[in-house]
Structure 1
Amino acid sequence: MSLQLVQANFKAKDDVALGGFWAAALGWDVSSEGPGVTNLQPAGFTWPDPNGFYLDFVAVPDPETVTYRVHLDLATTSQAHQAELVARLTELGATPADVGQGDVPWEVLADPEGNLFCVLEPRELYRDTGQIAAVVVDCVDPRAMARFWGEATNWTVHEVDDEHARLRSAGGVGPFLEFLRIPPGGTPVANRVHLDLIPDPIETQKAEVARLRTLGATSADVGQGEVPWQVLADPEGNQFCVLGRA
């Protein structure tokens, strides 16, 4: 029995347009499981391949009412690649963003719906992650978040201190999951980007949800109604979903 961190899920005003931006940005394939949902997967991967990581874009009435505690970091292989990628993303509709980062070697951008992301300078750490280097979550206590998510997913903790924590799948594939300390600012009502986990096998969903509760997860109501997935919140209030059989 295990849980696989399978995808990041974006709330969107226009799932087709936003999914199209990210598909062009990453060079990923596009599909749809139904109206209002756009699915992205790396070329050559079929969801839910445990070696893959995926993006979902789901249309919601008013995504601006939620918060921005999760963002993507994109990997580059050289300074020239970084500059070329920033230029191409800008042509696709991304805009520069100032979040008080100051003089840093990475570029902070916003996608067409305002979701922040970073285009990193080349780093050896991310040479084999693919286009997405990391999914980064703002938090108050990186150590506590590393404990919870490490036990929840059985991912390996590669680095942890009072300011930052970094985890990656036990198989050493795909992006890192990172937690970055920010000053306390209240519990979010709902994150605009959240993580989806899938049980293996899928029939263990109920048992996995029970296990997560023992680790500190709590139930979350985001208006999901009767759905086959379970919505939970981690110890800092970040919502995530444990998927089930549709």
Structure 2
Amino acid sequence: MATRLVQINMKAQDDAALGRFWAEALGWEVDSEAPGVTNLEPVGFTYPDPVAVCVDIVNSPEPKTVKNRVHLDLATDSASHQAELVARLQDLGATLADVGQGDVPWTVMADPEGNEFCVLEPRPVYRGTGPIAAVVVDCADPRAMARFWGEAMDWTVHEVTDGHATMRSSEGVGPYLEFVRTPDTKHVWNRVHLDVRPYPGDDMAAEEARLRSLGATDPGIDQFELSWTVLADPEGNEFCLLTPR
């Protein structure tokens, strides 16, 4: 058994408005599975497919108070493309952001609700990922996170150092999942988190037990009415185990 990363979940005070921003930013289409939920995926996409990690934006009244521990890195293919994308995103409502990055070749921005993201300078490794180069998770120990997520999912671990770990779908398509060492500690519920899904025919209860045996924990919330299971990784980052599909 194994899971795979199928989407990220992003909380928003106005899911429809933030969905419009990210749809324009990524060139994706917008759908809605329920009131208060805006779903984004590539045009013509058949879910789930490792060629893309989709984005679900879910209405939440709580305001953003701290830097997100999960963010998106957007890919570009030239210096001019990077500059053009930054300008276009500003026209859509994004702003430049300072998270202490200093003098770096990428541009740190925030979407209209303050969620940080990066527009990367062109890097050969991200050719062919689609508009999202990577989903990036801040952490204290990239090696430990790579061990957990490398066993939790059937994605391939590509690089592991004390400061950085990288994974990608075993099919070699779509964005990367990256863990970056940061000094920050987790204090609040993550406004952006990972959603993973087992494969058709897998047993969800058995998969939950397997993830717990790897180090996943209970985040301590009432899950009685949920059709999915909320867990936390070894550093306390919440994630959702969705039903097999």
Q: Which residue of 2 aligns with 1:135?
A: 135
**Structure 1 residue identity aligned to 2:40:** L
Residues 175-233 of structure 1, C-alpha deviations (whole Å, 9 max, x = no match): 10000001252x43310100001111265211111100010000123455511000000
Gaps of 5+ in 1: none
Work out the CA distance in 2 between the residues paired with 1:33 and 1:202.
23
The equivalences for 1:38-57 within 5 A come to 38-57=38-57
Q: Which residue of 2 aligns with 1:74?
A: 74
The equivalences for 1:136-215 within 5 A come to 136-183=136-183, 185=185, 187-201=186-200, 203-215=202-214
Work out the CA distance in 2 between the residues paired with 1:62 and 1:202.
37
**Structure 2 residue identity aligned to 1:91:** D
1:123 equivalent in alignment to 2:104: no
Aligned to 2:56, the other structure's residue is in SS state strand
Aligned residues: 245
Give the drift of 1:43. Answer: 1.4
Residues 25-51 of structure 1, C-alpha deviations (whole Å, 9 max, x = no match): 011011000100000001121222243
Contact 1:159 1:166 survives alignment (8 Å):
yes
Aligned to 2:121, the other structure's residue is in SS state coil
**Structure 2 residue identity aligned to 1:140:** A
**Structure 2 residue identity aligned to 1:233:** A
TM-score (ref. length: structure 2): 0.95
Work out the CA distance in 1 between the residues paired with 2:143 and 2:84.
36
Q: Which residue of 2 aligns with 1:230?
A: 229
**Structure 1 residue identity aligned to 2:114:** G
The equivalences for 1:13-28 within 5 A come to 13-28=13-28
Identity rate of aligned residues, in percent?
67
Contact 1:67 1:190 survives alignment (8 Å):
no
Gaps of 5+ in 2: none
The equivalences for 1:91-110 within 5 A come to 91-110=91-110
Contact 1:11 1:57 survives alignment (8 Å):
yes
- Give the direction of change, closer, same or farther, for the CA distance of 1:13–1:196 in structure 2 (3 Å limit): same
Q: Which residue of 2 aligns with 1:10?
A: 10
Contact 2:50 2:169 survives alignment (8 Å):
no
Give the drift of 1:102. Answer: 1.1
Aligned to 1:218, the other structure's residue is in SS state coil
Range with bigger deviation, 49-58 or 2-11: 49-58
Contact 2:199 2:244 survives alignment (8 Å):
no
Contact 1:135 1:178 survives alignment (8 Å):
yes
Contact 2:67 2:116 survives alignment (8 Å):
no
Work out the CA distance in 2 between the residues paired with 1:181 and 1:98.
18
Work out the CA distance in 1 between the residues paired with 2:108 and 2:223.
32
Work out the CA distance in 2 between the residues paired with 1:66 and 1:36.
23
